[in-house]
Structure 1
């Protein structure tokens, strides 16, 4: 069964797989530059790679929850139907636990760079999972 064009989500990089491969390569370059700049005696390469992997897996799991479960689909639909002001409030409310986690990690002695790497990894994992799911529906 073919998918109608209006059912396909629009992505900032377009619907071409080449742009998304470019995005992943750019993310890899960012990770390599970050590891070159910040990984030293404070924390090692295994911790950096673990944060990168855990972030991507968290993003994939978040997409799976939002796309495959009844509650996730309902939460995504409620957010999509909300007015812009309410979406901003939801975003700020969801940032509070993230900031608390980063503060808690910094008091324990975990570098903020690891939290940043995990967060960017989660964003990349979510975005690429969303694109792969939409691209699979196009085929």
Structure 2
């Protein structure tokens, strides 16, 4: 693969994942009743109305949105941010793998945990591979 092609693909992967993650701003801001309805709609039962649960829902959404912003920033100059791109990809792969191993056994969450882990692998592994194809600068 040509270095120019690898760079373009890497930029699009980072942008795509970044946009998806930035969309987490919606659950961060939406009424908790919507989160409760979504929780029930996907078959996970009733979402607890405790304040700590709302804090965790909104906090996780905020972190995901911030991460999306980081990915969009990294996509702006993949050569300059090469080390940060590598770090975040390895960190996400590690967290996703550990999370999948630890949490897969939770009742009702197994398939969602696998989907989450697989989605991380689907963008982090190509990200790392494409970086090996970039021009050395």
| Larger RCO: 1 or 2 (CA < 8 Å, sep 6+) | 1
TM-score greater than 0.5 by the shorter chain:
no
| TM-score in terms of structure 1 length | 0.37
| TM-score in terms of structure 2 length | 0.37
Structure (1 or 2) with the greater helix fraction: 1
